[in-house]
Amino acid sequence: MLKVSEIFHSIQGETSRCGFPSVFIRLAGCNFNCFHCDTPGARTGGSPMETAEVIGVAAGFPGADHATITGGEPLLQEGVYDLMDGLLDAGWRVQIETNGSLGLEGIKSGVRKIVDVKTPSTGESGSFLMENIRLLGVADEVKFPIGNAGDYGFSVDFMKKHLSGTGALINFSPVYGIMDAGELARMMLRDGVTARLNIQVHKYIGVE
C-alpha cells in the first residue's frame, strides 16, 4: 500500500530527461522542511493506493517517455520498492527523485537515481548520507539546489571532494525565483565547472 499525493502526465522539467513527457507519481510524506520547497502539499496526507492501481493509472498515459517517482520523499514508504519493480516489469523506464538522506541500497540498477545534496539555503544542509556515494553509477544523477553564491561555493567544493569518481551526472539547479539562471551559468563558466545547468523548464512553459 502506498500513500499517493498525485499522479499526473507532464513534461519532464529537470535532469537529463528534460523535455520528454513523463508520468509523475508523487508519493506523500517527507522528512525535510526545505526553505524553498515547491511541493509543500506533499509533505503530509496522500490517498492510499495499491501498487497495481498506481501502475494502472500510469498505463493510461501511453505517450510518456518514462515514469518519475517523486515526493515528498518517496523512500520513506516501504511500498516504493514494489512500485519500482512493478513499473520495470511493465516495461517502463523509471527514475526516482530522493533527497539524499536515506539509503539507496534497495534501488535496483535499472532505476535511475536522482539524488539531491541539500545546500545551506535549504535549511537541510549536512543531511546527505555519505554512504550513498558508493551506490551512484554512470546512469545516476546528483542535483544541487542553488539559491545564492554560498550554495554555489558549497556545491563546487562538495563535487570536487566527493563526486569526481562516481561517474554520475552533476546538476546545478538554480532555485526558481531566487537564483538567476544566467548568473549561475556565468559563475560556472568563469570557474570551469563541468556540471549541467539544470533549469526547471516546466516553470517557464507553464505546466506542472
Reply yes or no on whether the pLDDT at 125 is more than 80.
yes
Averaged pLDDT, 15-28? 96
Averaged pLDDT, 94-120? 97
Residue with cell 516504493: 80
C-alpha cell at 45: 496526507
Q: Determine how many CB atoms are found less than 10 A away from the CB of residue 109.
A: 10
Reply yes or no on whether the pLDDT at 137 is more than 70.
yes
Higher-pLDDT residue of 39 and 64 is 64
Contact between 170 and 163 (Cβ < 8 Å) = yes
User: In this predicted model, what pLDDT tens digit does every residue of 64-85 receive, in sequence order?
Assistant: 999 999 999 999 999 999 999 9
- 61: helix, strand or coil: coil
CATH number of the domain to which 59 belongs: 3.20.20.70
Return phi, psi of residue 98, to 5°. Answer: -135, 155
DSSP 173: E
Averaged pLDDT, 2-15? 95
In this prediction the pTM is: 0.95
Question: Cα(159)–Cα(153) distance, rounded to whole angstroms?
Answer: 10
pLDDT of residue 207: 61
Question: Cα(149)–Cα(177) distance, rounded to whole angstroms?
Answer: 15
Q: Could you tell me the residue range of the domain that residue 177 belongs to?
A: 2-205
Contact between 28 and 72 (Cβ < 8 Å) = yes
The structural domain count of the chain equals: 1
C-alpha cell at 74: 518517496
pLDDT bucket at 206, cuts 50 / 70 / 90: low
